[in-house]
Amino acid sequence: MGKPEQTPTRWGLPFPRSGPKSLLQRTLNQKYPGGRVPGTLLLALLLTATTHAQTSAQSATTTPGSQADQQRVQKLDTLKSPSKDDLLRGAYGPFRANNDLLSYALKLRVDPEAHFIKGTNTVRFRMLQDGDRIQLDLTPELTIDSITLNSKPLNYTREERAIYIDFPEPLHKDQTYAVAIAYSGHPVKQGRFGCFTFNHDAAGKPWITTACEEEGASTWWPNKDQWRDEPQEGMTLTIQVPNGLTDVSNGRFEGSQDLGDGYTEWRWHVHYPINNYDVALNIGNYGHFTAPKHGETTLDYYALPEDLDKAKLQFGQVPEMLDAYEHYFGEYPFDEDGYKLIEVPYAGMEHQSAVAYGNHFTNGYYGRDWTGVGISLKFDFIIIHESGHEWFGNAITAQDRADMWIHEGWTTYLETLYVEYRWGRADALRYTDGLKPKVQNQRPIIPPYNTNAEPPQDQYFKGALMINTLRSVINDDPKWFADIHDFYQAFKYQTITTDQVIAWWNARTGLNLTPFFNQYLRHADIPRLELRFPPDRKSVHYRWNADEPAFAMPVNVGDPQHWTRISPVTSEWRTMPLSGSIEDFKVDTDHFFVGTKEIMQAGQ
């Protein structure tokens, strides 16, 4: 990976060098140059710095651009060998494939003081074939208290996070069943955003959040922890938290009730399929306000009391975001659940209908022009990017984590469409060009399937640049906008694969785009246009250098004021006349994400 200053990622920006530790060191060095600090003063200063670190964010490991974050991004570009847990989680084995999810009903009590959770998830499913075993998942760090069918206990075995549930009698094809998994324990803080974290706000009140796309939802609740099968009828969340706290989760709020034992129950109903990692708890001393409906979409916002005024100003960008994305793709996909934006102590996450927001109520990415071209500071990156996932990532979900570019490449491209909708095509191209320095080309975007492998960060930037290139291949903007609208509508509320994406675009365009997609997604290098200028300088020879032998993408070359479209191939040199100088001969790298190389030949 490049320097974080040059390669900020979705996970954030560089950690300030003037953090609590460095400020403390400078203060002590200035006042006590000999290093002899009174013990009581040193203790007080250390406690102050520690408190600041705890309340300003979840930890240095979850601070955007921190050393741990930089190391994490580096790991993304290094394909690790899958662990046993990865293979169990990544594979869609027979005891997953024999059933189809219908709904979840998660009921959970959260104890902030003990850092303890206890609850039950009732899993409804339909058998796709006769069988006497199914597989669900829950981290071994949490205890299974019981698993029952019709209140009768079931036998089960555990292997890593996999739970193999055995039934005394075969379950029959096309029949519906419901098993209840009661569980409890202390969730383990882990990963980029902590996964399940017990924190406190600046006032010292509990602030508890979940964010576990990478680590998997089974780190805190039992479910079928994979991406292919989503509960088609949605789910309910019944969350009990201490009085005075609010839980904000996915779906439509259905009410709250004081239970009379110091806890209040908050009920939420998700009316759509939802992927497991999108299921979220946000528990805190939240203030709540609304904005006028956007068409049929209700808008609900949640922020800590001290941030409400800032939120009311910054969250005013939501209607413009919805205008843009609905213009290109159609209506907001979760109207029955509404749209929520919720303050959290980390950068942000695309939790379905409950988007997590932690961008400090500033434009750009933590106040920074993170694409470096003067566009990012016009809007709040987290609002625009994470909300874009409602269309790509939530309404459309990849079946395998290896195909995550369908989430991140498309949503990064949505950022460029938002810029184009608001400020025009020229600014959108500048914004798109700002993505290029972030591309690493260290390994293919798509890693091995069925291994829970995480794609490299190129899935964001290179994925978006590939889609922008596809627009230029089609070379007809009215058709392009109709194409992307219909592409989204064709797969809305489905889990899909890269092969399905390619097949759709091949059928839609009548072109063989398989080599195009394969080159950008399944190989590390981008295609390179090789150019050769004969000694007489009256012509130019050209061909593609690509890993895909059948790669034959058209590209614009020549005079930028009057581009010439050529159709290179990999198998032979082709020739075109050269009317100007070699120095004036350009390749249209604003619209096509390609490399170039001039090949010298004898006599030059």
Domains and CATH numbers, the chain: 20-76 (no CATH), 84-285 (2.60.40.1730), 298-524 (1.10.390.10), 528-598 (2.60.40)
Compute the 3-state secondary structure of the chain and give helix, strand, coil in percent, each to the nearest 5: 30, 30, 40
The mean predicted confidence, pLDDT, of the chain is 90
Q: Quick check: 122 and 154 in contact, CB under 8 A?
A: no
For 248, 339, 392, the CA distances from 301, given in Å and listed in that order, are 10, 9, 22
**Partners of 155 in the beta sheet?**
166
Q: How many CB atoms lie within 10 A of CB 131?
A: 17
CA neighbor of 207 nearest in space, from 350, 57, 106, 361: 57
| Cα angle, residue 262 at apex, residues 261 and 266 outer, rounded to 5° | 95
Q: pLDDT grade, residue 13 (50/70/90)? A: very low
Q: Which residues of 529-565 are buried (b: 16+ CB within 10 A; e: fewer)?
A: bbbbbeeeeeebbbbbbbbbeebbbebbbbeeeeeee
Q: Quick check: 263 and 243 in contact, CB under 8 A?
A: yes
Q: What is the pLDDT of residue 601?
A: 63
Q: pLDDT grade, residue 71 (50/70/90)? A: low
Q: What is the pLDDT of residue 68?
A: 55
Count, residues in the chain: 604
Residues 45 and 48: their CA atoms lie apart, in Å, by 5
Q: Quick check: 213 and 238 in contact, CB under 8 A?
A: no
Pairing mode of beta strands 287-294, 297-303: antiparallel
What's the maximum distance between 2 C-alpha atoms anywhere in the chain?
A: 91
| Cα angle, residue 423 at apex, residues 420 and 424 outer, rounded to 5° | 50
Provide the 8-state DSSP code for 364: B
CA neighbor of 80 nearest in space, from 194, 214, 228: 214
Provide the 8-state DSSP code for 49: H
Q: Quick check: 121 and 209 in contact, CB under 8 A?
A: no
Residue type, 397: T
Q: For residue range 435-465, what is the model confidence (pLDDT) as tens digits?
A: 999 999 999 999 999 999 999 999 999 999 9
The arithmetic mean of pLDDT across residues 92-116, rounded, is: 98
Kindly tell me if the per-residue pLDDT of 396 is higher than 70. Answer: yes
pTM of the model: 0.88
Structure-block tokens of residue 318:
């939501």
Q: For residue range 553-600, what is the model confidence (pLDDT) as tens digits?
A: 999 999 999 999 999 999 999 999 998 899 999 999 999 999 999 987
Cβ neighbors of 32 (< 8 A, separation 6 or more) are none
Q: Quick check: 137 and 223 in contact, CB under 8 A?
A: yes
The arithmetic mean of pLDDT across residues 8-12, rounded, is: 32
Provide the 8-state DSSP code for 556: E
Q: What SS3 class is residue 76?
A: helix
CA neighbor of 520 nearest in space, from 423, 415, 446, 573: 446
Q: Quick check: 134 and 156 in contact, CB under 8 A?
A: no
Kindly tell me if the per-residue pLDDT of 402 is higher than 70. Answer: yes
| Cα angle, residue 487 at apex, residues 482 and 488 outer, rounded to 5° | 105
Burial class (CB in 10 A: 0-12, 13-18, 19+), 336: middle
Q: What is the pLDDT of residue 295?
A: 97
φ, ψ for residue 454 (rounded to 5)?
Answer: -90, 130
Cβ neighbors of 544 (< 8 A, separation 6 or more) are 527, 528, 529, 530, 551, 552, 553, 568, 569, 570
Provide the 8-state DSSP code for 486: H
- Which runs of consecutive H residues, i.e. helices, occur in 453-540? 458-474, 477-491, 498-509, 514-522
Cβ neighbors of 540 (< 8 A, separation 6 or more) are 531, 532, 533, 557, 575, 576, 578, 585
Give the up-direction half-sphere exposure of residue 556: CA atoms within 13 A in the CB hemisphere.
17
Pairing mode of beta strands 494-496, 586-587: unpaired
Q: pLDDT grade, residue 432 (50/70/90)? A: very high
Q: For residue range 200-214, what is the model confidence (pLDDT) as tens digits?
A: 999 999 999 999 999
**Full DSSP string of 200-223:** E-TTS-EEEEEE-TTT-GGGTS-B
Q: For residue range 460-491, what is the model confidence (pLDDT) as tens digits?
A: 999 999 999 999 999 999 999 999 999 999 99
Structure-block tokens of residue 93:
């084995």
Q: For residue range 336-346, what is the model confidence (pLDDT) as tens digits?
A: 999 999 999 99
Q: What is the pLDDT of residue 74?
A: 63
Q: Which residues of 443-482 are buried (b: 16+ CB within 10 A; e: fewer)?
A: bbbbbebbbbbbbbbbbbbbbbbbbbbbbbbbeeeeeeee
The arithmetic mean of pLDDT across residues 246-252, rounded, is: 98
The single residue listed with the structure tokens 């959040």 is: 209
Residues 224 and 231: their CA atoms lie apart, in Å, by 10
For 367, 522, 556, the CA distances from 432, given in Å and listed in that order, are 19, 22, 17
Q: For residue range 262-283, what is the model confidence (pLDDT) as tens digits?
A: 999 999 999 999 999 999 999 9
**Partners of 198 in the beta sheet?**
208
Residues 373 and 371: their CA atoms lie apart, in Å, by 6
Kindly tell me if the per-residue pLDDT of 69 is higher than 80. Answer: no
Q: Which long-range CB contacts under 8 A does 142-145 form with residues at least 24 apart?
A: 142/117, 142/183, 142/184, 142/185, 142/186, 142/187, 142/220, 143/183, 143/184, 143/185, 144/181, 144/182, 144/183, 144/222, 145/182, 145/183, 145/184
Structure-block tokens of residue 408:
């991140």
Q: What is the pLDDT of residue 409?
A: 98
**Partners of 542 in the beta sheet?**
531, 574
